Amino acid sequence: MTVMNSRVASMYCLKCNSDLAIGDYFFGCPHCLAKGENASVSLRYAGKAAVNGAQKGLLRYSEFLPYEQFPTLGEGDTPLVSVPRLAAELGLQNVGIKNEFQNPTGSHKDRMNPFIVARALQTGRTTVAAASSGNEGVSLAVYAAAAGLACKIVSTPAVTPIWKASILAAGADLVIMETPQARWDYLRAKVETEGWYPATNMIAPPVGSSCYGIQGYKTISYEIYEECKDNLPDFIFVPVARGDLLWGIYEGFADLRKLGNIAKLPRLVAVEPLPRLEKVLAGEDYRTHYEGDTPLTASIGGGTVTYQSKLALEKTDGFAVSIPQDEAVQNVRRLAKYGFYLELSSALILGGLIKSVKEKKLAPEANVLLIATSHGFKNNPELFI
């Protein structure tokens, strides 16, 4: 039987800070939703938690996570590699790359799905589902299979044969809807009528994915801390769509500060293929819909922002940088020459770093970390042949 970590004390809204009973808030905070101010919720923990040094991967940190037991496929413990040549070329003290593409399905999403599946198991669901155009679909399909749950991935025509193959191979059903909105509507209807457990957002303006899942991303910050200790990065560059990863990384560092392990948080930098968060940080409403199709970087595409993304940047004194998708191919090539072959969406972190250096947003002695979220084996090979 799957049991929740007894340290989970309550839930709260990121925006209005209301205390909420432990449960599922598929549309985010109900109070904010009623006002049209869609916002995610998160978990509050009580009591003491400690790292379990005898364990590997995410299990090391299970006391900090919503479920201490969850289906694991060896996710986490990803390498953090220094790239001195790149640091020298950009005049920085250090550039590190955290290789999330070494997770079981080739992306960071494998840190999130163990807890979504655990939540579905605990609440007696038999089917998990996601609206996804790639990485989340593959990862959820695989973790659902490992846990013996059925899985439905609702996608758009943008899903490539590479992703399709791995979703279907893991035994999930794939449903194709014409637009992202149609995909959310379909998922929502199935959640209501058939009891599917949703991993992702289903409304517009969107909220983040399952808050149980996002907790898994805290482990990235814990691993960075264990490896860097007093030499934490000043800036962490993260490719961003709806900001699940960004918020999870923020929460992990916030935990470390609360424990007294670190005095200040690394500044988070969101890299996006069109100015969305950039505009929201400059004062636009976070619920604005931005135009612009970015098929090359579909994994971080879409015209929306979430409240959690904005808040993670504000709380870390971070910023957002937008890089046109056309630069992704050259970013992939350059990173591959240092030994890191990334998915196009993920490689945009390099463009974000170069632009931030040019615009003098980083001090010359800055210590920088890039989160490489996904493997280049998912790229359309034609772009590089």
32 belongs to the binding site for Zn ion (CB under 5 A): yes
| Interface region with ligand PLP, contact rule CB under 6 A, candidates 82-90, 150-158, 329-337, 341-349 | 341-349
Helix (H, G, I), strand (E, B) or coil at 134: coil
Beta sheet of 367-372, edge-to-edge order: 80-82, 94-99, 367-372, 235-239, 267-272, 319-322
215 belongs to the binding site for ligand PLP (CB under 6 A): no
What are the backbone angles phi and psi of residue 350, rounded to the nearest 5°?
-70, -45
Q: Which helix (H) or strand (E) holds 185?
A: helix 180-194
* CA-to-CA dists, residue 229 to 207, 222, 358, angstroms: 33, 10, 29
Could you tell which of Zn ion, ligand PLP, none binds residue 345, using a CB distance below 5 to 8 A set by kind? Answer: ligand PLP
The CA R_g of the chain, rounded to the nearest whole Å, is 19
Near Zn ion by CB under 5 A: residue from 8, 11, 15, 108: 15
| Interface region with Zn ion, contact rule CB under 5 A, candidates 25-33, 202-210, 305-313, 368-376 | 25-33
On whether the CB atoms of residues 245 and 313 are closer than 8 A, the answer is no
Amino acid at 182: A
78 belongs to the binding site for ligand PLP (CB under 6 A): no
Could you tell which of Zn ion, ligand PLP, none binds residue 125, using a CB distance below 5 to 8 A set by kind? Answer: none
CA distance 204 to 184: 8
Q: Shortest gap between Cβ of 243 and ligand PLP (angstroms)?
A: 5
CA distance 64 to 376: 31
Q: Shortest gap between Cβ of 109 and ligand PLP (angstroms)?
A: 7
111 belongs to the binding site for ligand PLP (CB under 6 A): no
205 belongs to the binding site for ligand PLP (CB under 6 A): no
76 belongs to the binding site for ligand PLP (CB under 6 A): no
Helix (H, G, I), strand (E, B) or coil at 299: helix
Near ligand PLP by CB under 6 A: residue from 241, 249, 311, 321: 241
94 belongs to the binding site for ligand PLP (CB under 6 A): no
Could you tell which of ligand PLP, Zn ion, none binds residue 15, using a CB distance below 5 to 8 A set by kind? Answer: Zn ion
Other C-beta atoms closer than 10 Å to the C-beta of 63 total 17
299 belongs to the binding site for ligand PLP (CB under 6 A): yes
Residues 244-263 as x/- pattern, contact with ligand PLP by CB under 6 A:
xxx-----------------
On whether the CB atoms of residues 71 and 146 are closer than 8 A, the answer is yes
Near ligand PLP by CB under 6 A: residue from 40, 62, 94, 135: 135
Q: Shortest gap between Cβ of 278 and ligand PLP (angstroms)?
A: 14
Distance of CA 291 to the CA centre of its chain: 22
Amino acid at 36: G
The residues binding Zn ion (CB under 5 A) are: 13, 15-16, 29, 31-32
The residues binding ligand PLP (CB under 6 A) are: 107, 134-136, 239-246, 299-300, 343, 345-346, 373-374
